[in-house]
Structure 1
Amino acid sequence: MGPLQYLLMPTAKITGIESPQVLQPDTANFFALAWQARHFMADKLGKPIDDAAISLAINSEYGRTQNQLHIHISCLQPAVKTRLAQLQGDFSESWQPLPGGLLGHDYLARRASAAELKQLGAFRLLAQGDEGARESMGSYGMAMTALPGGDFLLLAVKRNLWQLNLASAEEIQDHSCQVLQ
């Protein structure tokens, strides 16, 4: 845990991203709730934090240590923030491979409007948008950050044992928050 890292956890027992509950329309929109909770970071720091420095992440069923759904609210790694800023004009409203991946792993990226995120939520956007995702949600880790203009960037990484990738999307975060230095 870093000084500004927070976790959003539902009070209901939901194991993780693989739970069918996360795809139900009546389930809370956990990514939207976690984004609303980012103010705790600024409150603790004592000053505003640029949304582009903040990320949310959930690890895959295979890349986590606990069997309770939780979303990490933390800072982006500086190199990841820089890389995403370089590509920001390339993100579309459909899932596409992120050119060059991140941190040696293949990622998918998708732009989402605030309205889309509120209506469908990140989990359903992945399940509906990437072929085979609905049946293998537990193999995915997901992350989210803000884009200029009010849109969001959703990232998804799929487990790939050949690449020693357990789909821990938390890898893009820096819990020491060097990006704020």
Structure 2
Amino acid sequence: MLGRRRLVITLVALGVLVTVGSIAIALNFNKNSDALWRIVSQQCVPGQEQKSRPAPCRLVNMQDGYVVLKDRNGALQFLLIPVAKITGVESQKLLNPATSNFLAEAWRARHFMEEKRGAIIDDRVFSLAINSRLGRTQNQLHIHISCLRADIRQQLDALSPRLNARWQSLKLGSHDYQVRTITRDEFKRTSPFIRIANELPGAREDMGSYGIAIAVLADGRRVLMVVKRNLLLLNRASAEELQDHSCALLK
């Protein structure tokens, strides 16, 4: 009886914790969630169109529909952000084949990290990340272009022989991820957003619950890592957790 009472108390406490955490996330999200959108729509795009000056963005690419902005966190971290209003990973626009392959474009934009550093960076250092709807702070899609965590790099290198085109459930860091590899051409040809929606059961109807990260293996294959939100496990699906904005791999 005592054990059952403790179990009930534990479950109630956990429920309260999750509820409070969700409220805190929502309040923080709503407080300044349009900051990136204002920078893109009110500064970068008008500056490029009117004066050919994209500042504070480093690049405005109207043809492919995105800007590249230096993030305030991390010496080398950049963000790729659409010029159209796309709230986040849950947007149905990302599942339209006519929409730019923003993740492939973000990988191409990694050269901004090299220019900032003033030196060539091995591809195995780079990573991309997008957080889920509850794992982000901004109400505009933004792809984090940054360094991979050193321990995740080591783990992927060890797993490389068993990674292939089939989805596998693997623990990366402290959370469970669905992981598969794609070739360079597959990465360029098909948006990972569309691939995830088509291949992971239930994902198409619930894309906002997923965080996505991408890195590269030594043989050039891309690794697609997808985490699903689970608030009971205090997992907000922030795939950015696999990144290291201090770039220890470069030290």
> Are the counterparts in 2 of residues 80 and 172 from structure 1 also a CA contact under 8 Å?
yes
Tell me the TM-score normalised to structure 2 length. Answer: 0.70
For these two proteins, the number of residue pairs brought into alignment is 179
- From 47, 53, 70, the counterpart of 2:119: 47
Match of 2:193 among 76, 98, 123: 123
What amino acid is the match of 1:32? A
Whose helix fraction is larger, Structure 1's or Structure 2's? 2
Aligned mates of 1:157, 1:168 — CA distance in 2: 8
Counterparts of 1:128 and 1:94 in 2: how far apart (Å)? 13
1:159 pairs with 2:229: yes
Contact 1:114 1:151 in 2 (8 A): yes
Structure 1, unaligned runs of 5 or more: none
Partner Cα separation in structure 1 for residue 189 and residue 160 of structure 2? 23
Identity across aligned pairs (percent)? 54
**Partner of 2:188: helix, strand, or coil?**
helix
Displacement of 1:34 = 0.2
Which residue of structure 1 lines up, in the alignment, with residue 44 of structure 2? none
2:82 aligned counterpart, secondary structure: coil
Shift of 1:43: 1.0
Displacement after TM superposition at 1:102 (Å): 1.6
1:1-57: per-residue Cα shift (whole Å, max 9, x none)? Answer: 100000000100000000000011000001000000001111111111111111000
Query: Is 2:64 the partner of 1:19?
Result: no
Which of these two proteins has the greater Rg computed from alpha carbons?
2
Question: In the aligned structure 2, how far is the partner of 1:25 from the partner of 1:129?
Answer: 16
TM-score, scaled relative to structure 1: 0.97
In the TM superposition, 1:1-181 aligns within 5 A as 1-98=73-170, 101-181=171-251
**Partner secondary structure for residue 189 of structure 2:** helix
* More contact order relative to length (CA 8 Å, sep ≥ 6): 1
